[in-house]
């Protein structure tokens, strides 16, 4: 089993005629994802490698039955793209776009939440249920089907963690990059609740980074509510205060959001924290064994 997406998910690509949209549309389709259409205003009636292009999301949904969308448009246009998908009845929107203004996302999230649409991102690498469906830019080849859920604020570091799991024969149920911006649609807690209720997810790897308090909240939830083995890694141990480290949300402000604070909260909750990526696989194996799951 998996969360949010599976082999039945029907995906449309907003911005499919652009460089990134066309490239990753092919990659998703080649992985086995049902990429049923794309949207670029003014390009309706054309095709991208056999994938039909529509002028509007509503038109694509009507013709193809798409229920998920992935957005590859420039940041200034991403908020309207998210809203268009939500108003067209799309259940899941994955926003790859980076640099979306926080105030715009705050406005967008109020509206899409009322419409019942789930947003992953922005500034997200996407999500993948190995062997079933891939939405976004994650490299499918490093993933393998299994029972470990992965949730991360990072992008490329997520791939390293997944590879460490795969090389230790720990397949993944679903891996999700929630995005590193200050305002995102789906948080650690939202994903952890889904993993908790998924009978085929035995354990979870949480990849956090400096800034905010999401990891501390996740630690409290895992210890009090989830009762499945979890392992964590926190990026940014050596980050200087006040300096943004990659993601817009990865910044230590007024002494809060440090890696040390997050690690202490996780360890206090009984969650092992890897010092380096190569420790993630062995720590998860140990956690599964301790829980009688291996």
The set of catalytic residues is 247
Beta strand extents in the chain (DSSP E only) = 10-14, 34-39, 47-48, 51-54, 68-71, 92-95, 118-120, 126-129, 133-136, 145-152, 172-177, 203-209, 230-235, 273-274
Largest CA distance in the chain: 57
For residue 245, the tally of other CB atoms under 10 A from its CB is 17
Q: How far is CA 188 from CA 37, 222, 249, 286, in A?
A: 30, 11, 14, 23
Q: Which residues lie across from 133 on neighbouring strands?
A: 129
What distance in Å separates the CA atoms of residue 98 and residue 205, rounded to the nearest whole number? 24
For residue 51, the tally of other CB atoms under 10 A from its CB is 20
Q: Which residues lie across from 213 on neighbouring strands?
A: none
Q: Give how far the C-alpha of residue 276 lies from the chain's centroid of Cα atoms, to the nearest Å.
A: 21
Q: Are 52 and 38 in contact (CB under 8 A)?
A: yes
Sequence-ordered alpha helix ranges (H) in 10-168: 19-31, 57-64, 78-87, 102-115, 156-167
What distance in Å separates the CA atoms of residue 208 and residue 145, rounded to the nearest whole number? 23
Q: Is the peptide bond before 13 cis (omega within 30 degrees of 0)?
A: no
């Amino acid at each position: 089993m998996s969360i949010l997406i599976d082999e039945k998910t029907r995906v449309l690509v907003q911005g499919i005629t652009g460089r990134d949209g066309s490239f990753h549309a092919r990659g998703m389709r080649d992985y086995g994802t049902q990429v049923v259409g794309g949207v670029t205003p003014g390009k309706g009636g054309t095709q991208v490698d056999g994938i039909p292009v529509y002028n509007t999301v509503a038109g694509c949904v009507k013709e193809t039955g798409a229920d998920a969308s992935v957005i590859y448009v420039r940041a200034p246009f991403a908020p309207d793209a998210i809203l268009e998908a939500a108003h067209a009845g799309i259940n899941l929107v994955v926003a790859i776009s980076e640099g979306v203004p926080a105030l715009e996302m705050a406005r967008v999230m109020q509206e899409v939440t009322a419409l019942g649409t789930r947003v992953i991102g922005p500034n997200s690498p996407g999500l993948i249920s190995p062997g079933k469906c891939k939405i976004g830019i994650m490299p499918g080849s490093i993933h393998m089907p299994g029972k470990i859920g992965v949730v991360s604020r990072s992008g490329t570091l997520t791939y390293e963690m997944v590879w460490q799991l795969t090389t230790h024969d720990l397949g993944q149920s679903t891996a999700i990059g929630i995005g590193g911006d200050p305002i995102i649609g789906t948080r650690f807690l939202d994903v952890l609740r889904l993993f908790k209720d998924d009978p085929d997810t035995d354990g979870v790897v949480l990849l956090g980074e400096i800034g905010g308090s999401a990891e501390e909240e996740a630690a409290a939830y895992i210890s009090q509510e989830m009762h499945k083995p979890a392992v964590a890694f926190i990026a940014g141990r050596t980050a200087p205060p006040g300096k943004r480290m990659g993601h817009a949300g990865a910044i230590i402000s007024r002494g809060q959001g440090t890696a040390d604070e997050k690690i202490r909260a996780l360890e206090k909750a009984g969650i092992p924290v890897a010092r380096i990526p190569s420790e993630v696989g062995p720590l998860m194996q140990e956690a599964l064994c301790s829980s009688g799951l291996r």
